[in-house]
Structure 1
């Protein structure tokens, strides 16, 4: 999307093209297992690594279809399919071989489609992904995302510029000691609840508790039709005209 490529066939950075891609991307409603909603491609400089993973695995092909030239779209499809295979819960050796072939074709075509400048170390690294999966299992099994999350937690332990390593060590140890303390049978209930409040992760923003039920997401009231009201009464034994 860089303007330096505005004369190239693969350029999709024109305002009309970006608007079209954004319009498609922002209508995507991902399943609950994807915790981040899609953000516009114009904000891609701020995307997290997981957002790039979702983009190449799920969003890129449908959003770029009809905007990106067909030759480049089909080329991108090889990368998307290969990564999708290597990120599966379980993978056979024949599937790894297929992904390896797709990645090889993707890298080979980069030179003719995008020029010699595109043949970077990152393209070379793609050729090693299949062997990594053969040795270590699916890509998600040895992803660095979990370490990045923990790094974020560690960074939040620092409150001043002086003695930062000591601050991190002290607060991590305090957190570990609290967890051990909570597991103790000798700790009174009031103190245990207080410790739990300190170390418990906060609820997601869009959540609503009703008795023992926790509803996730932004709730929306709907007016029930007469048939729906009757069904609720039959199954739940309550009369209701509105549902959340």
Structure 2
């Protein structure tokens, strides 16, 4: 009777594995074979245990768990784990500049929206041009904080150099108003259908990039926190 059950289980596993072999790519196939193999050994251990043959059941059960591993057990549990999509970007826009932060590399790029350098990319501006634009942003505190976040990453020691040339730092302008959901999704680099867990995961990932304690920008960190709070209130 036990051998009949084992044969039936083995047949089911082989059929499922054959179907996966036809439809899956190599990575998925390897994962599925590991899962099916682990399941087979665990079920086989249960059959031996039911028959009182614990000397076989215990090692088979341990081997099955070992083959499944933590990734296989997560796949069987069906638990949700947010995954980061390659190529995601966060976008922050003020009156004078739009900045993008690449989630993968932490590289920050920007485009000038108004003023004497309108339409120019920040990466295309030399040090003198960046200093001139930084002075222009004195009229808008949020724009100035955003360009300073970019300068902190691109030019070491820019503060001493720029301020020594007579550029006075202006205070931050008042907030432009409550952040909209659209702005919040752009800042976190998420689509409008992102769920609660994805919002929190994107927030944690970005804060590692821009937190002031890690040499990042206080302004960007505040924007990312505001974006998270805005979207979680909506959820």
Which TM bucket (shorter chain)?
A: under 0.3
* Structure with the larger RCO, 1 or 2 (CA within 8 Å, 6+ apart): 2
Q: TM-score under structure 1 normalisation?
A: 0.23
